[in-house]
Amino acid sequence: MQRALAVLMDPIEKIKIYKDSSFAMLLEAKRRGYTLHYLTQESLYIENSRACARAQILDVFDNVDRWFHLEEAKFIDLGDMSIILLRKDPPFDTQYLHDTHILDLAEAHGALVVNKPQSVRDANEKLFALHFPQCCPKSLVARDAKLLKEFVLEHGQAVAKSLDGMGGSAIFRVSDVDPNLNVIFETLTREGLELALVQQFLPEIKLGDKRILLIDGDPIPYALARIPQGDEFRGNLARGGIGVAQPLTERDRWIAAQVGPEVRRRGLYFVGIDVIGDYLTEVNVTSPTCIRELDRAFDINIAGTLFDALEKRLK
């Protein structure tokens, strides 16, 4: 019986295939003979306690001029899928939350959802790193702007973030002499309504914010160091950072070994951890990237390694 895969992702017509990790996964699934089904958020629904979707059969091509073809939409039971890739980008808002509840039902009826919906809900990408304090820089999470400001005054320089951003959005480098500290924390916390994170500034960011990929808890032996350019302190590729592929260091491997068993236990099959210098800063569980860049640099097939791990878990 032919296996079937569904992917919930952002609009496929807008992706850049040379750097899109979801697309790399779809190419690998096609190579393995899966029937591909394309889902959007509005296509999902629940009928009689079954997770369903108005899905389109998808074909993909590694061609920048024509990289996909979609057939007419049909109604499917998501529990009949072999694998469902949950690859919608953040923010993790109310609608994203509801999607994970729908996919809980698909999982309950037999589908392998990657990553496990409950664990995606539980593992906020900024806060989950704090489960590994031995790996993290000094940090504070609070709604109280006074506490956040005191942290900066104590440490001299810090990075301040919202908890639901991605791609370097809503991140500030602040110092104890910054005249805008009050307004920055008022903005990040929405006047005390939302949590914000401050972390000790790590000057090693000049050497790159390393993305390390974990497959079922085990690290790919290479990282993509995203190096800030010009006067920008953020290394995110979306903010102009330059990606430099490199082997993992001993410290990288140690951090991965701290995180790996817990993400494996939680059913977080594909995770991207971010490391600056000697410190873990984030654990990305929604839609980690950098597959295609590392594949090109080292002539490897990360999506193939991922599917090898997933297929061991298929019923």
Q: What is the pLDDT of residues 119-146, one digit of tens each?
A: 999 999 999 999 999 999 999 999 999 9
Question: Average pLDDT, stretch 269-295?
Answer: 97
Q: What is the pLDDT of residues 253-273, one digit of tens each?
A: 999 999 999 999 999 999 999
The residue behind tokens 């920048």 is 64
Closest to 200 in 3D by CA, of 240, 239, 218, 173: 173
Q: Which of 226, 236, 292, 295 is catalytic?
A: 226
**138-201 classified as CATH 3.40.50.11440:** no
**CB-based contacts of 1, cutoff 8 Å, min separation 6:** none
Q: What is the pLDDT of residues 88-131, one digit of tens each?
A: 998 889 999 999 999 999 999 999 999 999 999 999 999 999 99
pTM of the model: 0.94
Q: Is 93 a catalytic residue?
A: no
Q: Is 282 a catalytic residue?
A: yes
Residue 224 confidence (pLDDT): 97
Domain parsing of the chain, residue ranges: 4-114, 138-201, 204-306
Rounded Cα gap, residues 310 and 112, in angstroms: 8
Q: Is 301 a catalytic residue?
A: no
Cα–Cα separations (whole angstroms), residue 272 to 3, 243, 268, 290, 309: 27, 15, 10, 9, 16
Q: Architecture of domain 4-114 in CATH?
A: 3-Layer(aba) Sandwich (3.40)
Q: What is the 3-state secondary structure of 13-78?
A: HHCCCCCCHHHHHHHHHHHCCCEEEEECHHHEEEECCEEEEEEEEEEECCCCCCCEEECCCEEEEH
Q: Is 284 a catalytic residue?
A: yes
Q: Is 218 a catalytic residue?
A: no
Rounded Cα gap, residues 152 and 199, in angstroms: 9
Average pLDDT, the chain: 95
- Please say if the pLDDT value at position 252 is more than 70: yes
Q: Which of 87, 149, 210, 234 is catalytic?
A: 234
Q: Which of 115, 124, 236, 284 is catalytic?
A: 284
**Tokens matching residue 106:** 């698909």
Helix (H) or strand (E) holding 214: strand 209-215
Beta partners for 159?
Answer: 173, 199
Q: Which of 126, 149, 210, 292 is catalytic?
A: 126
Q: Architecture of domain 204-306 in CATH?
A: 2-Layer Sandwich (3.30)
Q: Is 234 a catalytic residue?
A: yes
Q: pLDDT confidence of 166, banded at 50, 70, 90?
A: low
Would you list the DSSP string of 153-183?
HHHSEEEEEESS--TTTTEEEEETT-TTHHH
